[in-house]
Structure 1
Amino acid sequence: MSVTAMSPGSTAQHEAAERRLAARTLLACPVLTSHRQPDELALVRRHSAALRSTFAKLLSYHLVVETSFARLVKTPPSGDSPLRPVQRGDSPPFTPQTYALFSLACASLLTPGTGEWLLISSLVEQVRADAVSAGVALRDTPSENRRLVQAVGLLIDWGVLTETDGSLSAWSERREEGVLQIHRPLLPHVLPRPLRDVASLADLAARLPSGAAEPRRSLRRRLVENPLVKREDLPEDERDVLSRERSELTRLLEEHFGLTLEVRAEGALAYDTEGTLSDVAYPGPGTVRQAALLLTDALTDLARPSAASHHVPGGTAGDVPGLLTPWGTVSSELGGLVSRYSKAWAGAYVADPARLQKEVVALLESMSLARSLPGGLVLHPAVARYRPEPHAQPTRAARRLAGKPDGARAPASGALFTDSFLREAL
């Protein structure tokens, strides 16, 4: 049997593709363990030297790679980045208290004398005691117990803890005891800074690294981590980099992370043509995502914006493009959608439109597609890229008669958001 040798060129391409896949994996999942992601960790370990260099030079991220785990420590986002709190499944997003409890759980596991295994009840008792010492309010109520379970559950999700006998959910629901195994080598690297010499949570926050950096790195971080970067939010030095070095920026993002840079008058984004990198699916399934898509479409239809209209005060660059809709109109339009799709949407949201509106607005803000003001909701021009595409989807009337939300084009389809606001031609 003859074997065809791989050419040097194809070998280099294969290696580059593997490094890109490993980098994308770490961006999507900053903690990998041999127990939970053995194949992904093996790939990261193989290219660890190149990945450390790439993340440090391009994004100022620190990568730790050991035999049993890999941990990508990201620089904290800038203050104007959209809020995207941790959320485990259908549980509520992490609150400041949940993050505090998460830190306390890490500290409890690092307590001298703690072995490789411990009871769930023992960990909870230690967290409660440490909360008192740290001045963190933690009452024995159902809501605060759920936050504590969320915090410990994230450590399980990340592979820091493993349920070996019993489960956290059984303890939460019925107080059934369970045993946890600690991944001791990974534990000190979970938080971005060591806990030694930290006297309080405020002290820990003060020791976090600054997000400030030279403009090329900070701009790359924005594009890699955010679904949309609005031009008015960019400092002058980053806008200059975007203008002068767009070709090089495009090359670096595609070569190292498989992202396609798209720049328009109102902003820029680096989107993933494979649709696997983002942790937020939009458009996507579920009542909140469908309602957000239909609401932005309805508000745009209602206002019929033109290229030269609808600028909203604010931002470092002065007035910025945006479609401002009063809250009364937002509630009215969303209420109409709830009535129309009451049989298709989740009953909890149909019964509570105010809750649905709150979660829809939070989703749009997390995607940088909207901004809440006292006077109403501001839609960014980029919502145009998600509007229905009549020639590729059934007509809106046909879909509504069928009781299904309209189709929409997603960033991965290659559709661009408009050069100068929401077009009426759609």
Structure 2
Amino acid sequence: MTTAAHDADERRMAARALLATPILTASRHSEELALVRRHAAALKPMFGQLLGYSLVVQSGFARLTKGPLPAEAPVRPARRASGSEFTPRTYTYLALVCAGLLARDVGEQVLLSQLVAQIRADAVIAGVTIDDTLAERRDLVAAINLLLDWGVLAETDGTVTAWGERREEALLTIDRGLLPHLVSRPLHTLERSEDLWAADPDEPEPPRRTLRRKLVENPLVHRGDLSDAEHDVLRRERSELTRVLEESFGLTLEVRGEGALAYDADGRLTDVAFPGGGATRQAALLLIEALIGALEPQGGEQVTVGGRTVPGVLAPWPMVDDELGRLARAHASAWRKDILDDPLPFREEVAALLQAVGLAAITTEGLVLHPAAARYRPSVRLAPPVTRAKRRLGDDARQLPSPLFTVDDERGEPA
């Protein structure tokens, strides 16, 4: 590999690392940060020109600040360690914690009890009512844990979890260089909270940039979610767009009549893996096949969703429930035991996953499958049975997946 090719490969790796983890710190991502610092001079203008993102690179961290996505883009909420989504209350605590850390009398380190006292004082000023219940403490702990995950905070002595459970003191160290870069603009420059993501009406973004941003952040982009200008760019400049996405971010572009897909062949860039392991992903993959087989959709079918006419076919909830129930019974030995006892939460998980990856839309009547769902053709391969000898090997042997699912990728002709 030539020096130029090696540098281009490293820049692409650094860009992918930033897209996947917009906050890289020396303590948690030393190799990725070193790569970003090495190519910072090229990465900053590249992100700015291609996506409208700003990149801050310092010795101890790199922060990629992304721009706003359209309202129709899938929601990517903050999550607790358990995987559950942040509630509005948890986001409130996150804002209060950040404000408390920015208080003038808080230095490089702070006792958790001192931080909590500052949060309570700020909440009174802001007119926010907070209580000292176990649920409230858990929300506060979840907010602080997110900042620990981002590298903004570090546990120097004691743990946040121990404080939440037993009120044990903890000493936190603050990355004061990174903390102000959590938001896209200094808060004192804003008149309203909505202005944090407001676009400048005097400088409308070019459709090439907004199209690239949609494809990079939400790989499956429906045709109806493109403006006329973005659609024109996709039609006229497909070859150039394909080259830019591949060279800059390692993404492969496919264009169909119903939209466009920029996928990562390595499967490392996405934050929502599909297909994949686990009962929810396996069920979603098999449900697609079952519903398409039952509905036999024809090209050009459309459904009205939220007042908009979109390509796709409606699977009523009774049909979805019947197919999921059949799948759960067929794979009862491999999937969770609670699925058959209480199927509604499992159906909600499966539907939410398909909506998150853009393959379906949830409506009151049922699940609307996008034509891109037909791209997946699952095949089932049963894993060998777990013998007594394997059971004696321990948990790893007992948890062999059965069955295993793969995808036969059937792509049609490009639109």
Residue 304 of structure 2, aligned match among 308, 313, 335: 313
Identity %: 52
AA in 1 matched with 2:197: L
TM-score by length of structure 1 reads: 0.86
Residue 194 of structure 2, aligned match among 194, 205, 223: 205
Q: Shift of the alpha carbon at 1:152?
A: 1.0
Question: Aligned runs of 1:258-273 on 2, under 5 Å?
Answer: 258-273=250-265
Q: Shift of the alpha carbon at 1:91?
A: 3.0
Q: Shift of the alpha carbon at 1:82?
A: 1.1
Residue 381 of structure 1, aligned match among 371, 375, 378: 371
The 8 Å contact of residues 22 and 40 in structure 1, kept in 2 or not, is answered as yes
3-state DSSP of counterpart to 1:387: strand
The 8 Å contact of residues 266 and 420 in structure 1, kept in 2 or not, is answered as no
Cα gap change, 1:369/1:138 in structure 2, threshold over 3 Å: closer, same or farther?
farther
What is residue 65 of structure 1 aligned with on the other side? Answer: 57
What is residue 364 of structure 1 aligned with on the other side? Answer: 354
Measured in 1, the distance between the counterparts of 2:94 and 2:364 equals 33
Measured in 2, the distance between the counterparts of 1:352 and 1:138 equals 34
3-state DSSP of counterpart to 2:213: helix
Measured in 2, the distance between the counterparts of 1:81 and 1:144 equals 30
What is residue 391 of structure 2 aligned with on the other side? Answer: none
TM-score by length of structure 2 reads: 0.88
Measured in 2, the distance between the counterparts of 1:224 and 1:119 equals 40
1:105 aligns with 2:97: yes
1:210-245 CA deviation, whole Å, 9 max, x = no partner? 396211000000000113101111111111110000
Measured in 1, the distance between the counterparts of 2:135 and 2:342 equals 20
Residue 408 of structure 1, aligned match among 398, 406, 412: 406
Q: Shift of the alpha carbon at 1:198?
A: 5.7
Measured in 1, the distance between the counterparts of 2:127 and 2:47 equals 36
Measured in 1, the distance between the counterparts of 2:141 and 2:225 equals 36
1:39 aligns with 2:17: no
1:24 aligns with 2:16: yes
Measured in 2, the distance between the counterparts of 1:278 and 1:134 equals 37
Measured in 2, the distance between the counterparts of 1:216 and 1:372 equals 30
Q: Which has the higher strand share?
A: 2
Q: Shift of the alpha carbon at 1:70?
A: 0.5
The 8 Å contact of residues 93 and 143 in structure 2, kept in 1 or not, is answered as yes
Q: How many residues align?
A: 397
Cα gap change, 1:408/1:381 in structure 2, threshold over 3 Å: closer, same or farther?
farther
Q: Shift of the alpha carbon at 1:395?
A: 8.3
1:253 aligns with 2:245: yes
Measured in 2, the distance between the counterparts of 1:409 and 1:230 equals 22
The 8 Å contact of residues 286 and 378 in structure 2, kept in 1 or not, is answered as no
3-state DSSP of counterpart to 1:388: strand
List alignment gaps of at least 5 residues for structure 1: 1-8, 422-426
Root mean square deviation, CA, Å: 2.6
Measured in 2, the distance between the counterparts of 1:96 and 1:213 equals 31
What is residue 154 of structure 1 aligned with on the other side? Answer: 146
List alignment gaps of at least 5 residues for structure 2: 386-399
Measured in 1, the distance between the counterparts of 2:130 and 2:360 equals 34
What is residue 315 of structure 2 aligned with on the other side? Answer: 325
AA in 2 matched with 1:114: V
The 8 Å contact of residues 55 and 61 in structure 1, kept in 2 or not, is answered as yes
Q: Shift of the alpha carbon at 1:301?
A: 1.8
Question: Aligned runs of 1:122-137 on 2, under 5 Å?
Answer: 122-137=114-129
What is residue 341 of structure 1 aligned with on the other side? Answer: 331
Q: Shift of the alpha carbon at 1:300?
A: 1.5
3-state DSSP of counterpart to 1:67: coil
Cα gap change, 1:101/1:38 in structure 2, threshold over 3 Å: closer, same or farther?
same
The 8 Å contact of residues 74 and 355 in structure 2, kept in 1 or not, is answered as yes
